[in-house]
Amino acid sequence: MLKHKDHFHGSDLEKIEEIYHIRKEDITSFSANVNPLGISPMLRDTLSKHVDAISTYPDRDYTKLRKSICAYTGAEFDNIIVGNGSTELISLFIQTTQPQKALILGPTYSEYEREIALQGGQTLYYPLKEEDLFQINVEDFCSQLNDSLDLLVLCNPNNPTSTAITRKEMRKILDRAMQYGISVMVDETYEEFTDAGSKISSIPLTNNYNNLIVLRGISKFFAAPGLRLGYAVTGNPDLLKYINTKKNPWTINSLAEIAGCIMFSDKEYIEKTRALITSERNRLYDLLNTWEYVKVYPSCSNFLLVKILREDVTSEMVFDHCIRKGLMIRDCSTFPFLDNSFIRFCVMSPEKNNALMEALRELDL
């Protein structure tokens, strides 16, 4: 099991406040990867009207919520399961399948490895290569699959590299995985930030592959991490049955259930988010490409991975410089296969993005 250094998560504003003596209200978090538009206006305007819902239990089957997810994603109604954030569903899936040996892309989110270890499993990493701009080589990846593996975990788009596997490429991986009886878990936390028509989502593939489960949540795109609402899609009825057997009833509260139905239907907010992210991501990428002492990697999501090319400047130094200005980026030295020359930051409003660029410029990058 790889060792992960301590780090500041995007939600660790209280810890930052304590160490740097900066009020958390004065910190702009470029680390949390949350939609800069905040919560859906439709949700803000209407959720308070439903407050009386907390006086009753939610529908045990969450029928209305699952129908909303069905309309939003195109998934089959019977293939949808909901949970207390995607984190609960990751845990439930791994508890259900109990993989003995899993293969994960690296660098990536550490929670996958942690959950597998808690169930007594072993984790192997397939390292994404910097010389390939951290884009997966699907043919080589498929050649690494064998019958000793039980599970593949793919964050798509991947965090922190913001690279993605296309649906066509995912088919190749799923076909090879089926040959060896390998389950595939795809975390699509950041898929909704990708350009329309990019054909990255694996949800349509759940109708054809019973070894696939796709996970999503509302924390990032819908800027609602506090609601703790996630969902998964799989075409494997036995897996759904097993997860529902292990899952506690009513893990989603009444207001979160209603909120999901509202936000998934806010088309104006969804389109406005995608337009802002695409525009600012492209602008920042083009700008950083002109700088002498950084390398910025192509991104398809709402954050950018950047390598510092000056040997006398480290990711820790950049983090410290920025946080003292109330700008919190991610020091990526904590990710497997990355070192202290890598940072990551998400796309915010143009004004806040400009403030971050100015702070980075002060380091002569």
pLDDT 10s digits, 317-330: 999 999 999 999 99
pLDDT 10s digits, 105-147: 999 988 899 999 999 999 999 999 999 999 999 999 999 999 9
Give the chain's end-to-end CA distance (angstroms, integer). Answer: 35
Write the CB contacts of 232 (distance below 8 Å, at least 6 apart in sequence).
80, 81, 82, 83, 86, 89, 93, 213, 214, 215, 216, 243
Q: Which residues are registered as beta bridge partners of 102?
A: 123, 151
CA distances from 353 to 34, 87, 316 (A): 14, 29, 20
Question: Rounded distance, CA 337 to CA 349, Å?
Answer: 30
Whether a cis peptide bond, with omega within 30° of 0, leads into 225 is: no
In sign, the C-alpha dihedral spanning 158, 163, 166, 169 is negative
Q: Tokens 């019973």, residue?
A: 210
Give burial (CB, 10 Å; 0-12/13-18/19+) of 346. Answer: buried
Phi-psi map region of 294: left, alpha, beta (phi>0 left; psi -120 to 50 alpha): beta
Q: Tokens 């649906």, residue?
A: 167
Each residue's pLDDT, cut to its tens digit, for the chain (365 residues) gives 344 444 555 456 777 888 888 888 899 999 999 999 999 999 999 999 999 999 999 999 999 999 999 999 999 999 999 999 999 999 999 999 999 999 999 999 888 999 999 999 999 999 999 999 999 999 999 999 999 999 999 999 999 999 999 999 999 999 999 999 999 999 999 999 999 889 999 999 999 999 999 999 999 999 999 999 999 999 999 999 999 888 889 999 999 999 999 999 999 999 999 999 999 999 999 999 999 999 999 999 999 999 999 999 999 999 999 999 999 999 999 899 999 999 999 999 999 999 999 999 999 99
Task: Give the HSE-up count for residue 96: Cα atoms under 13 Å, Cβ half-sphere.
Answer: 20
- According to DSSP, the β-strands at 330-331 and 122-127 are unpaired
